[in-house]
Chain A
Amino acid sequence: MSDFVEWVTHGVKRGRFEIDSRSAVALSIVAGTLTVVMALYLILISRTAARGRRIEELQAEIFHLQRENQQLMVEIAEESAVSRVRERAQALGFAPAQEMEFVVGSE
């Protein structure tokens, strides 16, 4: 018990943590590599997130355009409905054809 207490109180001696220059370089390389890997990972993640967000935006845009397209299709159909066309034709003075004349052509 007393050895342990002694280690706690005096065990941390400066000399034990002194490292040589080669070890320091190696340690720096490892730390640097880790930093680069982490940075790359963060860049990749942020880019993926940005792309994901962009895909979402495009998807939303597709749905929006799809809705607009469908709505316009319906509006065009309403404007050109038989009843509407008939009203307009009558307003312009047109009347249903009563007789048709067929002309027999030759080739």
Chain B
Amino acid sequence: MAEGPKRRLVLLIALLVGCVIVVVVQLFKVQVVDHQFYKNWAREQQVRAVTMDKPPRGVIRDRDGRVLAGNGVRYAIEAAPAYVIDEEAAAKLATALHMPAAHVEDLLNSRDENEELRKWVPIAPSVSRETGRKVLDQNINGITARPLWKRAYPEGTLASHTLGFSTMITGYYGVEGFYDDMLRPKEVEWVAPVDVASVPIPWHPIAGELPRRGVDLELTLDRTVQALVEEELRRAVWEYEAEGGTIIVMEADTFGILGMASLPAYDPEQYTEFVDQDSPPFEDPAISKQYEPGSVFKILTMAAALDSGVVTPGATYVDEGWIEVGGQTIRNATGKVYGESTMADILIKSLNVGAAWLSERMRPDIFYRYMQDFGIGERTGVDLAGEVSGQLWLPDDIEHWHPSNLGTNSFGQGVAVTPLQMATAVATVANDGVRLRPRVVGRRIAPDGTVSVHQRLVVKRVISSETAQQVSEMLVKAIEEGATLAKVDGYRVAGKTGTAQIPIPGGYDPEDTIATFVGFGPVPDPRLVILVKLDRPQSSPWASRTAAPTFQRLTSRLFTALAIPPNDVRSMAEVRQ
């Protein structure tokens, strides 16, 4: 070969070898030196965290399966401005969303700090299903309508305190708060390879498990009972010019809550409207606000005295109109002297002196043991968020307890309870002396259809069956001979009024009261326990004139609505059997 071509060939080979060396060096740099950087860069482009559509939160129903809290659908309208090529996009969106076209145009042209079109812009964070559909139907490139869940309460304000409310993520108060972990759906997110449009590549294996909807809850609440309770509460608050109030209706043999309402209430779907208030009405006063119960507490004092054997139902005492306990003089609310009085008289005439006499005879150890057994001073354990324990000072608490407490506590002063605590304690008498844990949820239904039934939970036997019946009969008399406005035609009902003073710094409010009536019926074999509490009624301070007639009206309607036959019909049916 000639010298010239040979040299050129060598040169060419050298050049090629040089190129190869450059390539190899570059490859070495890319694959070895900067390996991690490029690996991460590639990964950022190739994979995305993919979240599957969020399943719905568990549905809350009443005992008959009627929806109290469900899930509505809304849409979030979002844009990827770089992909919006339709020049009419802003106008089309503006029409569908009822927004000014110029505003939408501005959003679609919004730029980041580097003066580049934003990658993602929210146009409308939450629009109705119909509007979302309109946007979807327009099929505008770069515009998405992302479906969202919105908690819906189809009954409006009905049972708002019991239900609580839920944001997009978390439940608060009531059942929503207590059972949040169960109601909350299980979301699934995993990392998957995507194509150039960031769409997951379908042949890559998806997550091992699918998203799971929340657990459905079926309450013990009865929608009809709840509606009647709320109607009567509204009427009572209006009629007696009260500041607010609470009504609780429980099943006597299961302690399942059939209806529970407090005023002021709120619409859980519009909870945001109340958030900025000084004291938003979210807490359920039935379980979260404690008060001095007043004379309804005498029911517990009497039950304790009879059950402990300190007195018998036929016992009498001489009421001199006053008694001294722990150095404090206690008088009857009426200021009268009643002379020789029976045990039933203590409840019928609501004698403070009689109740204090009983507690003194029991002495602190017996009295407070029974009060604790009735659940005073501790949470009932109801399955609702935000329950408080009330307040019961005990003799070993030398800082707070004074010997005079024994006397005042016996008729419901110096002790604080929640309405549900008081209802539970009286329900114990109605339930033959056995205290159960009150509950709101009756059944849980898992996404796979598995049903868990919440069984009645016995806390303890507090008083004997015999004592319970004796107290029940006394309470029937307390209505028939005392609080006659609570009488329900055709039915034997048991109950007691309580007009409680309101503690203020340095003593008690001289004008306002809290009026309570708690009762159950029909006797014997009561079906319902009902507590009515009215805060600061203005038309009359006395429970016998406010809470008692409210109890009568409500009980009468409930017996009809629940088809509970009158006593004579029940007796006839028993005779026939």
Contacts and interface: CB of A to CB of B under 8 A. Distances in A.
A53 B204 CA distance: 10
Contacts of A5: 1, 6, 9-10
Contact of A100 (B56, B156, B200, B560): B560
15 contacts: A5-B9, A52-B201, A52-B203, A67-B56, A74-B70, A74-B152, A77-B67, A81-B155, A81-B156, A82-B155, A100-B560, A102-B565, A102-B566, A104-B569, A104-B576
A49 interface: yes
Nearest to B568: A102
A65 to B, nearest CB: 11
Secondary structure at the A interface, as helix, strand, loop or mixed, is helix
Nearest to B205: A52
Contacts of A96: 557
B402 to A, nearest CB: 49
Interface string A7-34: 0110000000000000000000000000
A90 B133 CA distance: 36
A12 B420 CA distance: 102
Given A70-B73, A73-B70, A74-B152, 10 more contacts: A45-B203, A52-B202, A52-B204, A60-B53, A63-B52, A74-B72, A74-B154, A77-B155, A82-B155, A104-B573
Nearest to A98: B560
A80 interface: yes
Contacts, number: 92
- Size band of the interface chain B makes with A: 35 or more
B442 interface: no
Contact of B56 (A6, A66, A81): A66
Given A70-B73, A74-B70, A53 B202 contact: yes
Nearest to A44: B203
B315 to A, nearest CB: 39
Contact of A78 (B154, B566, B572): B154
A52 to B, nearest CB: 3
Contact of B569 (A8, A45, A66, A102): A102
Contacts of A55: 202, 206
A71 B154 contact: no
- Most chain B CB within 10 A, of A45, A71, A97, is at A71
A49 B73 contact: no
Interface string A47-84: 01101110110011001001110110110111011110
Interface string B69-83: 011110000000000
Interface in B175-202: 200-202
Nearest to B206: A55
A82 B224 contact: yes
